[in-house]
Amino acid sequence: MAGYVIRRLLWGVALLFLVCALTFVLFDVLPSGEPARLRAGRTASPRAVAHVRHELGLDKPIYTQFYDYLRGVVLHFDLGYSFYSHASVAGLIADRLPATISLAAGATVIWLLAGVAIGVVSAVRRRTWLDHAAMGGALLFISAPEFWLGLVALFLFAQDIGRFPLLPGAGSYTGLLADPGKWLGSLVLPWLVLAAGFAAVYARLLRGSLLEVLGEDHIRTARAKGLRERRVILRHGLRGAIMPVITVLGLDIGTLLGGALLVEVVFDIPGVGRLNYDAITQSDFPIVQGTVLLAALFIVVANIVVDISYAYLDPRVRLR
Amino acid sequence: MSAAVAPLLEVEDLSVAFPLPGRGPAGRLEAVRGVSFTLRPGQALGVVGESGSGKSVTALTAMGLTRRDGAQLAGRIRLAGRDLLELDDRQMRSLRGNELAMVFQDPLAALNPLQRVGWQLVEALRAHAAPARRDAPARRDAPGRRDARARRDVLTRRDALTRRDARARAIELLDRVGIPEPGRRIDAYPHELSGGMRQRVMIAMAIANEPRLLICDEPTSALDVTVQAQILTLLGELQRELGMALLLITHDLGVVAELADDVAVMRAGRIVEDGPTREIFDAPREEYTRALLRAVPRLDDPLPDRASPTPRLDPGAPGDLPPAGPGQPLLEVRALAKGFAPRGILARRRHEPVRAVDGVGFALAPGEALGLVGETGCGKSTTARLVMRLLDADAGEIRFAGQDVTALRGRSLAALRRGAQMVFQDPYSSLNPRRTVGACVAEPLVVHDLQHDRAARRRRVGELLETVGLAAADAGRYPYELSGGQRQRVALARALAPGPALLVADEPVSALDVSIQAQILALLQRLRRDLGLALLFISHDLAVVRQVCDRVAVMQAGRIVELAPREQLYERPQHPYTRALLAAVPGAGRDRRTIGA
Does any CB of chain B come closer than 8 Å to the CB of residue A46?
Answer: no
CA-nearest residue to A217 within chain B is: B110
Distance from CA of B409 to the nearest CA of A (A): 32
Instruction: Kindly state the DSSP code that residue B305 receives in the 8-state scheme.
Output: P
- With contacts defined as CB-CB under 8 Å, which chain A residues touch B346? 7, 10-11
pLDDT of residue B141: 45
pLDDT of residue B321: 46
Lowest mean pLDDT among B112-121, B373-382, B499-508: B373-382
Domain assignment present for residue A311? The answer is: yes
Domain assignment present for residue A43? The answer is: yes
**In chain A, how long is the greatest CA-to-CA distance?**
85
Confidence check: pLDDT of B521 > 70: yes
Query: Are A39 and A147 in a shared domain?
Result: no
**How do residues A122-160 score in pLDDT, each as one tens digit?**
999 998 999 999 999 999 999 999 899 999 999 999 988
Query: Are A253 and A307 in a shared domain?
Result: yes
Domain assignment present for residue A24? The answer is: no
Instruction: Kindly state the DSSP code that residue B138 receives in the 8-state scheme.
Output: G
* Total domains in the fold of chain A: 2
Query: Are A38 and A156 in a shared domain?
Result: no
**How do residues A179-206 score in pLDDT, each as one tens digit?**
999 999 999 999 999 999 999 999 999 9
B114 contacts: CB under 8 Å, gap ≥ 6: A239, A240, A313, A314, A315, B189
What's the rounded Cα separation, in Å, for the pair A211 and A122? 9
Query: Are A74 and A99 in a shared domain?
Result: no
Beta strand B403-404 pairing with B395-400: antiparallel
Q: Is this prediction's ipTM beyond 0.95?
A: no
pLDDT of residue A31: 63
Query: Are A59 and A131 in a shared domain?
Result: no
pLDDT of residue B597: 29
Distance from CA of A108 to the nearest CA of B (A): 26
Query: Are A199 and A168 in a shared domain?
Result: yes
What's the rounded Cα separation, in Å, for the pair B382 and B392? 10
Q: How confident is the model at residue A62 (pLDDT cuts 50, 70, 90)?
A: confident
Query: Are A64 and A110 in a shared domain?
Result: no
In which element (H, E) is residue B420 found?
A: strand B420-423
Domain-ending residue, one of A11, A45, A78: A78
Q: Domain range for residue A52?
A: 34-78
Instruction: Calculate the CA A130 to chain-centre distance.
Output: 31
Domain assignment present for residue A4? The answer is: no
Nearest by CB to residue B189, choosing from A10, A222, A315, is A315
Residues 165-224 of B with CB under 8 A from A: 189, 191, 202, 205-206
What's the rounded Cα separation, in Å, for the pair A184 and A190? 10
Query: Are A227 and A282 in a shared domain?
Result: yes
Domain-ending residue, one of A78, A103, A135: A78
pLDDT of residue A318: 67
Q: Are A228 and B128 in contact (CB < 8 Å)?
A: no
Mean pLDDT value of segment B340-357: 63
CB atoms within 10 A of CB B555: 25
Confidence check: pLDDT of A116 > 90: yes
Domain assignment present for residue A13? The answer is: no
Q: Are B110 and A221 in contact (CB < 8 Å)?
A: yes
Domain assignment present for residue A19? The answer is: no
Confidence check: pLDDT of B561 > 60: yes
Comparing CA positions, the residue from B549, B487, B546 lying closest to residue B516 is B487
Instruction: Calculate the CA B567 to chain-centre distance.
Output: 27
Q: Are A227 and B94 in contact (CB < 8 Å)?
A: no
Query: Are A126 and A157 in a shared domain?
Result: yes
Query: Are A132 and A74 in a shared domain?
Result: no
A63 contacts: CB under 8 Å, gap ≥ 6: none
Confidence check: pLDDT of B474 > 60: yes
Lowest mean pLDDT among A40-54, B226-240, B409-423: A40-54
**How do residues B271-287 score in pLDDT, each as one tens digit?**
999 999 999 998 999 99
pLDDT of residue B342: 58
Does any CB of chain B come closer than 8 Å to the CB of residue A181?
Answer: no
Beta strand B72-79 pairing with B9-19: antiparallel
pLDDT of residue B339: 86
Domains of chain B in start order, with CATH, are: 9-295 (3.40.50.300), 359-584 (3.40.50.300)
Domain containing residue A171: CATH number: 1.10.3720.10
Confidence check: pLDDT of A32 > 70: no
**How do residues A254-273 score in pLDDT, each as one tens digit?**
889 887 888 999 999 999 99
Confidence check: pLDDT of A5 > 70: yes
Residue B44 β-bridge partners: B246
Domain assignment present for residue A1? The answer is: no
Query: Are A167 and A64 in a shared domain?
Result: no
Query: Are A49 and A183 in a shared domain?
Result: no
Using CB atoms within 10 Å of the CB of residue B28, give its burial: 0 to 12 exposed, 13 to 18 middle, 19+ buried. middle
Domain assignment present for residue A21? The answer is: no
Specify the amino acid at residue A232.
V
**How do residues B48-106 score in pLDDT, each as one tens digit?**
988 888 999 999 999 999 888 888 999 999 999 999 999 999 999 999 999 999 999 88
